[in-house]
Amino acid sequence: MIQFDRFVLDNGLRVLVHEDPSTPMAVVNVMYDVGARDEDPAQTGFAHLFEHLMFGGSINIKDYDEPLQRAGGENNAYTTNDLTNYYCQLPAQNIETAFWLESDRMLSLAFGEKSLATQRKVVCEEFKEHYINKPYGDVWHKMRSLAYTVHPYRWMTIGKELSHVENAKIDDVKNFFFKHYRPVNAILVVAGNVKLEQVKRLAEKWFGPIEMGKKYERQLSVEPLQTEARKLEVEANVPLDAFVKTWHMDARLSPGYYAADLLTEILGGGAASRLYQTLVKEKQYFSSIDCYHFGSLDAGLVAVDGKLVKGVSMENAMKAVDEEIEKLKATKIETKELEKVINRTESVIAFEDMSVMSRASSIALYELLGDASMMNTEFQKYQAITIDSIHDYANKIFANTNSNTLLYHAQ
Amino acid sequence: MLDRKIFPTIEEAVHFDLQLKNCDRFTLDNKVPVYAMNAGAQDVVMVEWVFDAGNWYDKQPMVAATTNFLIKNGTTSKSAYQINDFFEFHGAYLNRSCYNETASITLHCLSKHLETLLPVVREIIETSIFPEQELGIYIQNQKQRLSVNLQKCDFIANRLIDEYLFGINHPYGTYSNAEDYDALNTDLLKAFYKQYYLNGSCKIFVAGKMPTGYESMLNKAFGTLPLHADAPVVVEHPVVTASQKKVEIINDENGVQGAIRMARPFPNRHHPDFQKAHVLNTLFGGFFGSRLMSNIREDKGYTYGIHSYFQNHVHASAWMISTEAGRDVCAATIAEVIKEMEILRNEPVAQDELDLVRNYMIGSLLGDLDGPFQLIGRWKNYVLNGLDENYFYKSIETIKSVTPEELQSLANTYLQPGDFYELTVI
């Protein structure tokens, strides 16, 4: 059970406080309700580029990192398709420094041309390092645009192409900031060796004067139900044949989400999971195989991906994958297998909750989803899943018409 | 009116009184030492068995690493699947890692399952059988993985720079080739296992919210095995450094980035310069606000990240600079690194910048001391490197007191471009 308090400033900023006197540190976590899904299709990669610019100086403070480091702190940030999260950890005595820094960059950035010019280059290098200069680096670019036709999940957070990042202009940056980076679209979580009253006072002092801004109303195109299996085959300069296959699953808050999560565990969670045991160990068709999903807030994808053992034909390998999926649809899982994936989930939650930083970002995420207290009932939702509901859900999503297959052939 | 240009008052981290929480120590009946950090709010524990079984003891490449990997792939009474399923059913993770000097088996689990799980870890250490089929699958999959990795410039660069520093026959400089995997057989693994695990030198590290009576649980499961606490037989490996200092390799004609590694040999943690050099390294390329990051990423935008660090070896270390930069700016990146070395040699660091580095280092140390797993990790590092808590307090003292002149003098000793290997792999 994670305890927290919650209050809202007049400007709409939601503030959550999690006291943990056992640590000497404090964590300040600011989550903005904007991700790559909120981008213009002609300007993809912008939410992530923007995350970089948030470190390029704010209206009153030339440099974000330096004062934080001087206060003994460290920080980082990440952007997903759904949200952008900034977090810093510092000795609890110096927590006001974090309020000062985070509030100033919520008030306004400096919008320096130099920072934009440099970060465009840095992000382009990040793009190259992770997605171009790596074997199989473009797999998810291709898969996303295959699986989604209208929903903005069809591009990755890094962006659809380098040129979108290269062409970003300072006016675009300003517009993006004042549209999304307002108190009313943000959640502040303060955790660690802090007191509620202290956080109230500091939040009022530093964040209180910031203009509320306009609530961003998300209106994304809903991905229509897929009615036909899709398939894409590519050839590339890689040593091994590989594949990714995906099926559409339910959104984060739907009951189906929990069933999908357990299904990925059954298929790919660990060396005794079904796909690994059958296809890597017994049949030896694959040298690696995984099953996972991204925890997307809107309707996401269940994915299976693997690399084929040299000499195995793509056709036989894919048939073997389909057989495992069909087994799940035809035969209900045993009680023991359900118990196993529930136990694994219990363990994952316990380990995640070890660090204050991770507790702080969980609180922010559940608040973004509507109510931070959901984090304390999450495990019960998994416990409520039955053998029958897993079976029904497997039959619902693992329909061939709901599938997208990318076959990646070695040249 | 709130003046946002004024810094809030801070308590300088250099004034903190950092204390390293002591770990409990006891020995099992067979003298195997246990180091324990019984703390934490979550009902989780970690147990790590550290053996003197790293690739330092290899007589043939990859034997240590393969033995470590396959140790849980079958015992006299359980198949690999049954072992994995058993741990996974309890939501536990049983991992293994092979390093240069040591190799370990690590268990992470909920506290309530520890007593059930320990006997099966014992079974693995006592009766592992290394089936032919498991080795065959492992060799096939490792060779496949290697073929993918060999396309990556960073992977190639990491291998080669170690070879230049230590020599291909030294445990720190060696790397895997497909032929090494083909040359493995189960007899080699069984012999290595018998000598270095079953009858091996072992240390146990535990942390987390330990269940009551965990000491006797450990003794019952591991105190009666033929494990011991004796130091392993001393094995010497001569270091053979490469003579050519500058190398450029094109691994992928179409590569859009180059992996740059610049490195020089450096003594181990026992050398009097080590802790001071740690401060100099932080300033140079050891954190986000470092000179290398500020210049090469934040000013020039040549790379997504550039770092300098000391390699984490017991016998000897190396001072390394590592980055992936745009193909057309690789040479410019190296030139900037050399320029930053020159500045550190020629100009004493400003007091203000040094103060920032000191505060950052102490603050980050404070964060590192938070939580039982982090604490036992630090203790393990000390124990395995023949150090104790004095090292911790001395290191804090060094961070607080090292002077700009001392840092400049260190830069003149160690940051000489001529002493560095310079490797670019595209």
Domain regions of chain B by residue span: 24-222, 246-425
The pLDDT of residue A129 is 87
Position B139 pLDDT exceeds 90: yes
For residue A25, give the chain B residue with the closest CA: B367
Whether the ipTM is more than 0.90: the answer is yes
**B297 vs A: CB within 8 A:** yes
Region of A159 please: left (phi>0), alpha (psi -120 to 50) or beta. Answer: left
| B354 CA: distance to closest CA in chain A (Å) | 10
Taking all residues of chain B, what is their mean pLDDT, rounded to a whole number? 96
**B211 vs A: CB within 8 A:** no
Identical fold for domains A5-206 and A230-410, yes or no, is: yes
Chain B contact set for A288 (CB, 8 A)? 141, 145
The pLDDT of residue A209 is 97
Q: Mean per-residue pLDDT for B393-418?
A: 97
Q: Mean per-residue pLDDT for B73-95?
A: 98
Question: Measured between CB atoms, which of A67, A74, A272 is closest to B84?
Answer: A272
Distance in angstroms (rounded) separating the CA atoms of residues A269 and A333 = 15
Q: Mean per-residue pLDDT for B398-415?
A: 97
Position B413 pLDDT exceeds 90: yes
| A242 CA: distance to closest CA in chain B (Å) | 11
Q: Say which residue the tokens 């320096």 belong to.
A: A112
Position B231 pLDDT exceeds 90: no
3-state secondary structure of B179: helix
Q: Hey, of B1, B44, B88, which one would you mutate to test binding to chain A, going by the most A CBs within 10 A of its CB?
A: B88
Q: Give residue-wise pLDDT tens across range A188-205.
A: 999 999 999 999 999 999
The pLDDT of residue B245 is 96
CA B67 to chain CA centroid, Å, is 19
3-state secondary structure of B8: coil
Distance in angstroms (rounded) separating the CA atoms of residues A286 and A319 = 12
Q: Hey, of B6, B360, B362, which one would you mutate to test binding to chain A, going by the most A CBs within 10 A of its CB?
A: B360
| A129 CA: distance to closest CA in chain B (Å) | 7
Fold of B24-222: Cytochrome Bc1 Complex; Chain A, domain 1 (3.30.830)
* Two tokens, residue B71: 């140790």
Contacts of B331 (CB under 8 A, 6+ apart): none
CB of B108 within 8 A of CB of B172? no
Distance in angstroms (rounded) separating the CA atoms of residues A282 and A269 = 17
Q: Give residue-wise pLDDT tens across range A357-372.
A: 999 999 999 999 999 9
The pLDDT of residue B234 is 87
The pLDDT of residue A72 is 92
The pLDDT of residue A133 is 86
* Cβ pair A25:B373 closer than 8 A: no
The pLDDT of residue B209 is 96
At what angle are helices A314-330 and A255-268 packed, to 10 degrees? 130
Q: Give residue-wise pLDDT tens across range A102-138.
A: 999 999 999 889 999 999 999 998 998 898 889 999 9
**CA torsion sign, A318 to A323 to A326 to A328?**
negative
Position B40 pLDDT exceeds 90: no
* Cβ pair A350:B298 closer than 8 A: no
The pLDDT of residue A1 is 87
User: How buried is residue A302: exposed, middle or buried, by Cβ count under 10 Å (0-12/13-18/19+)?
Assistant: buried
Distance in angstroms (rounded) separating the CA atoms of residues B294 and B156 = 27
Position B393 pLDDT exceeds 90: yes
- CATH top-level class of B246-425: alpha beta
Q: Give residue-wise pLDDT tens across range A26-42.
A: 999 999 999 999 999 99
Taking the CB of residue A182, how many other CB atoms lie within 10 A of it? Answer: 22
Residue numbers in chain A where pLDDT is lower than 50 = none
The pLDDT of residue B41 is 84
A5-206: CATH, from 3.40.50.920, 3.30.830.10, 2.40.160.20, 3.40.50.800: 3.30.830.10
* Cβ pair A71:B13 closer than 8 A: yes
The pLDDT of residue A344 is 96
Q: Where are the domains of chain A?
A: 5-206, 230-410
Taking the CB of residue B269, how many other CB atoms lie within 10 A of it? Answer: 19
3-state secondary structure of A405: strand
Architecture of the domain spanning A230-410? 2-Layer Sandwich (3.30)
Residue B324 has φ and ψ, to the nearest 5°, of: -115, 120
Chain B contact set for A103 (CB, 8 A)? 4
